[in-house]
Structure 1
């Protein structure tokens, strides 16, 4: 029962995991907070971001399921939107790979302990306007007009776990200066690989059939 949807689910996981290597507002906040304030605060912020990931994935899964059950043909449009956004991410990654720039971290300064940083992480993720497009692309890779609800559930659970683990790893690793230095040296290569994968994912999104 899993076989027809396994490729799409793995592609969705792949896009999400690769996206974790693209420094956006959430990751830059985690890195900056861990570097400038402390590892504990960075981890609290990371878990808040991961909770936001779970919320976005749930909202997208429920929304797509409701839309597709009412208008089956809308899935084609959503796949086109998702593929176009993945190509845009590829363009940004290639552009970044060709430029020399410093890592612009964004430390979050708060009073109130880890709980305050957790809430700020959740707020940062939930107010990220681009998250909706990202999740349309991710869910469209795994789902089609006939996909059962458990397919979306696997994507929600899997990406939420990856988000929690990945952002905490960022918080722990980037609280040490050697990791920051290594990342700065490898950034352009990382961006180039990200661009290639986003192009591949965009192609698979418009051609994949479960």
Structure 2
């Protein structure tokens, strides 16, 4: 167990790591926009499973970073290249799905039909999509490297890294679940029905632009 002096020495860095994560969660990115699209189009059940996948991905990246991902990326330049290629291809796939939804005629259904349709969707499938999106997101990986660097300095005990990874993982999961719930509310669904094509079209453009940039960046 850490003593009081050790605890007070490292807590500011841990809290700063949490703050850095919150800033990253507030700023729009592939995970947030992907979650918004799923929650609006498929409802709360799908959005929450997608959010749990993102949260698991966040925790996994944090754990890998703590155990040496940053050292691997610094030593092997091809590792980041592979991550960037997989991330770019996945984002292009997300763009294709968004464009397909944008050009598809939206069905006129009531709230009961939406709930029934949502229950037919595989929760595991949306969970895996959220997980894949986050694990192949270079922004998330680089953000975690920064987060670990902020709070886990040289010589810091292991409990500091554990507090950062577990705390940030819980924060990420909770915030994304809140996003999924908010984006699937009746007002949000009503707005989405009126602007579904525009929303999905913009999501498609965003995913396509970011995916292409990832594939061709050096």
- Conserved 8 A contact 1:30-1:107: no
How far the C-alpha of 1:130 sits from its partner, in A, is 2.0
- The equivalent residue for 1:170 is 179
**1:38 aligned onto 2:43:** yes
- The equivalent residue for 2:68 is 63
Q: Quick one: distance in 2 between partners of 1:4 and 1:167?
A: 30
Number of matched pairs: 143
Q: Quick one: distance in 2 between partners of 1:16 and 1:47?
A: 17
How far the C-alpha of 1:158 sits from its partner, in A, is 0.2
Q: Quick one: distance in 2 between partners of 1:140 and 1:178?
A: 41
Aligned residue among 159, 163, 169 for 1:150: 159
Q: Which 4+ runs in 1 deviate beyond 6 A?
A: 107-111
Q: Calculate the TM-score normalised by the size of structure 2.
A: 0.60
The C-alpha deviation readout for 1:54-109, integer Å capped at 9, x for no partner, is 110000011169x5xxxxxx9xxxxxxxxxxxxxxxxxxxxxxxxxxxxxxx6998
Runs of 5+ unmatched residues, structure 2: 1-5, 75-97, 102-117, 192-218
Aligned-CA RMSD value? 2.7
How far the C-alpha of 1:136 sits from its partner, in A, is 1.3
Q: Quick one: distance in 2 between partners of 1:143 and 1:150?
A: 10
Q: Calculate the TM-score normalised by the size of structure 1.
A: 0.62
Q: Go from structure 1 to structure 2 and tell me whether the alpha carbon gap of 1:43 and 1:52 turns closer, same or farther (over 3 Å shift).
A: same
Runs of 5+ unmatched residues, structure 1: 68-73, 75-105, 182-210
